[in-house]
């Protein structure tokens, strides 16, 4: 195996390992749709529950308002016997009127909050019933995925072993270079050399698929014949070439 072949294999193993690790931390494709539906319904249920809480708090606030204003009303009514003149009397009556209005307002608020609470509660019961079916389906798929996980984890472990072997075959400076380039390009250190589409018959021309910069024929010869590590002159990715199957 040439150096560049080893690097191509190594890159491949890293990419596969990345995919396996991502999968292990997330949800497989076949579960994605149900996972999203499950999440959306759960969010909806949480929102309704929050609305119920809010209505309940509003109701408690309004009821406390009723109690407070009733206290004030009682206080004013007790003062009636102590007024000394008509002016004080009518002022007191005005206050009493105002407080009675306030009580009515709070009572109306409490009633509305109660109705809101009941409406939302009915909606919540309905949603929860529908959710129960979804949840059991979700749990089933989750169990199925949990059962598959060890296989994916074992595959990842195998890839780690393969990476270690492949890395051991590379001269340290080249491995170091590979790692640096891989880091710079978000995990993918390689770029394929491709033939440029030519119009008519001309000289064969090559370019880097990573950045489209030209690749000189002698670089391609180095890669194909000697398996050397050649960097793209422009983007500095490691170039590789896939021989035509045909
Ligand atoms: Zn390039």
Q: Could you report the per-residue pLDDT of 11-42, keeping only the tens digit for each?
A: 999 999 999 999 999 999 999 999 999 999 99
197 CA from centroid of ligand 1 (Å): 17
In this structure, is residue 87 part of a structural domain? yes
Residues 51 and 133 in one domain: yes
Torsion sign, CA atoms 48, 49, 54, 56: positive
**CATH code: domain of residue 117:** 1.10.287.1490
Q: What pLDDT is stored for residue 143 in this prediction?
A: 96
Residues 55 and 118 in one domain: yes
| CA 57 – ligand 1 centroid, Å | 63
Answer yes or no: do 130 and 20 share one domain.
yes
Give distance in angstroms: CA of 236 to centre of ligand 1: 6
Nearest-Å Rg of the Cα atoms of the chain is: 37
**Collapsed DSSP state (helix, strand, coil) of residue 228:** coil
Helix (H), strand (E) counts: the chain: 5, 4
CA of 209 to the centre of ligand 1 (A): 7
Report the domain count for the chain. 2
Residue 177 CB contacts under 8 Å (≥ 6 apart), including other chains: 229, 238
Residue 143: which domain range? 3-170
Same domain, 143 and 204: no
Is-above-0.75 flag for pTM?
A: no
- Same domain membership, residue 194 and residue 132: no
One domain, residues 202 and 103? no
pLDDT tens digits along 135-189: 999 999 999 999 999 999 999 999 999 999 999 999 999 999 999 999 999 999 9
Interval between CA 241 and ligand 1 midpoint (Å): 13
Shared domain for 140 and 101, answered yes or no, is: yes
Domain contains 246: no
Residue 194 Cα to ligand 1 middle (Å): 11
| Ligand 1 center to 228 CA (angstroms) | 16
CA of 235 to the centre of ligand 1 (A): 4
Distance in Å, CA 188 to ligand 1 centroid:
12
Burial class (CB in 10 A: 0-12, 13-18, 19+), 63: middle
The answer as to whether 245 is a domain residue is no
């Amino acid at each position: 195996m040439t150096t560049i072949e080893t690097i191509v294999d190594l890159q491949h193993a890293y990419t596969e390992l990345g995919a396996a690790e991502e999968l292990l931390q997330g949800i497989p494709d076949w579960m994605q749709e149900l996972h999203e539906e499950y999440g959306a319904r759960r969010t909806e249920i949480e929102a309704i529950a929050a609305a119920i809480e809010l209505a309940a708090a509003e109701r408690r606030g309004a009821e406390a308002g009723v109690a407070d204003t009733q206290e004030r009303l009682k206080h004013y009514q007790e003062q009636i016997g102590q007024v000394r003149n008509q002016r004080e009397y009518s002022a007191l009556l005005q206050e009493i009127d105002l407080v009675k209005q306030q009580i009515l307002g709070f009572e109306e608020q409490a009633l509305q909050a109660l109705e809101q609470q009941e409406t939302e509660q009915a909606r919540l019961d309905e949603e929860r019933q529908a959710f129960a079916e979804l949840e059991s389906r979700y749990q089933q798929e989750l169990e199925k995925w949990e059962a598959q996980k060890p296989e994916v984890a074992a595959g990842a472990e195998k890839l780690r072993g393969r990476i270690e072997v492949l890395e051991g075959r590379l001269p340290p400076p080249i491995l170091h270079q590979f790692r640096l380039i891989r880091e710079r390009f978000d995990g993918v250190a390689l770029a394929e050399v491709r033939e440029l589409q030519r119009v008519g018959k001309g000289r064969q021309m090559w370019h880097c698929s990573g950045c489209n910069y030209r690749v000189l024929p002698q670089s391609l010869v180095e890669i194909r014949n000697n398996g050397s590590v050649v960097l793209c002159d422009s983007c500095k990715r490691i170039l590789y070439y896939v021989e035509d199957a045909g």
